[in-house]
Amino acid sequence: MILPRIIPVLLIKNGSLIKTINFDKFNYIGDPCNTARIFNELEVDEMILLDVDATNQKKINLNLISELASECFMPLTYGGGICRIEDAESLFRLGVEKIVVNTHSYIDKNFMKSLSNEFGSQAIVASIDYKCINSQKIIFSNSGRNKQNYEILNWVKHLEYDGVGEIILTSIDHEGTWNGFDYEFIEQIVRAINIPVIAHGGAGNLEHIKKILKCGVSAVGLGSMVVYQKKNMGVLVNFIDTRKIVEVLNK
């Protein structure tokens, strides 16, 4: 039985684990290292950690990443503030398996190609955050702060051409809402490129996960579902048994 890739996507700000709704309304969750230990016990296969403030602070919290990497039994993917080859080298030396780049890919159009050439496509993930404005999908960078003028389908093809190994696609409108994914558009992106897509933003139940997996994504990123008991309820770090998802998929 092939289990689907279900990945916790954790957000950190000032060294603490947080959760947002539509990239806003920051709620404190807890200590990221304690959360990693819980995911170890739950036998989570991989984890994505995104620092939402690293770009603005122009600094990567290497001490925290080092501690997390030493705690994690699962592969760790990190994103936030990466703007130099040296940043990537430092993270890989600490034990990070993949890096995620968002903002600097728009600033330096050759950056993703340089990373892929240096470290291999399998280690490089591009993050695309977008929202719908006047019926158009608009890309935003820097944790949703800055609008980008690239047409999203052209941009994902550019990233594929530059050797990116995977894309994490986040709908800002859906993020943290528990209301489901932007299914039709995500499927459109999946069909437009030949590299894996991680869908992130909006998961609230197993049916949402089933539906987005049927859109052809390679993985599903979960935020609220793995740090809260339920919608509008308290913090509880947890994880879904992927075998249950397989059962739902087979119904």
Cβ-count burial of 101 within 10 angstroms (0-12 exposed, 13-18 middle, 19+ buried)? buried
For residue 28, give the CATH number of its domain: 3.20.20.70
**What's the pLDDT tens digit per position in 11-55?**
999 999 999 999 998 999 999 999 999 999 999 999 999 999 999
Catalytic residue (one of 87, 129, 162, 182) = 129
Q: H-helix or E-strand containing 23?
A: none
Over range 210-227, report the average pLDDT: 96
The candidate with the shortest Cα–Cα distance to 214, out of 177, 174, 250, 243, is: 250
Q: H-helix or E-strand containing 191?
A: helix 183-192
Over range 219-240, report the average pLDDT: 95
Over range 3-15, report the average pLDDT: 94
Q: What DSSP designation does 2 have?
A: P
3-class DSSP state for residue 220?
strand
Q: What is the pLDDT of residue 66?
A: 97
Number of structural domains in the chain: 1
Tokens of 80: 């936030």
**What is the per-residue DSSP string for 43-56?**
T-S-EEEEETTHHH
Residue numbers of the domain that contains 50 = 5-249
| Residue found under tokens 């684990």 | 17
Can 162 be counted among the known catalytic residues?
no
**Lowest-confidence range among 2-6, 20-24, 173-177?**
2-6
Separation of alpha carbons 91 and 62, rounded Å: 7
